[in-house]
Structure 1
């Protein structure tokens, strides 16, 4: 489950920003996860509480914004949503 490493990196980045601003704690973390990223948002949510233990983000809420994949047909130029790696013009 690569989401553990991703979640740890998210927390490290959030802590870097918090320290730069002299914040005593992190109340919430917002991340964007693309539908074609291969990252399972529910797994990141599951890992978040365990990974924040003992950090500035302990007790913080996690806000995940899901970003829809987009494609553009090379022939007609039409743009469309993508849910899979099928790059065929609808």
Structure 2
């Protein structure tokens, strides 16, 4: 994570929710599908310039997704950049 951060690339989830790595409140994986074993191990990395256009980030809920996988989906919405006409 530090190597990417030094290159200006960070986790969009951590950026959007202003959370530190290792102190996440939104798990993306449940070991052996157990609600008691949550982890945050799925990421969407983006450069700072792209993250500045991040308008929404969502982590799927355990109850909605556990029947399909031990991971929940993550999704992000970015605002379209404005084009400059010359």
Same fold (TM over 0.5): no
Larger radius of gyration: 1
* Structure-1-length-normalised TM-score: 0.23
TM-score, normalising length: structure 2: 0.24
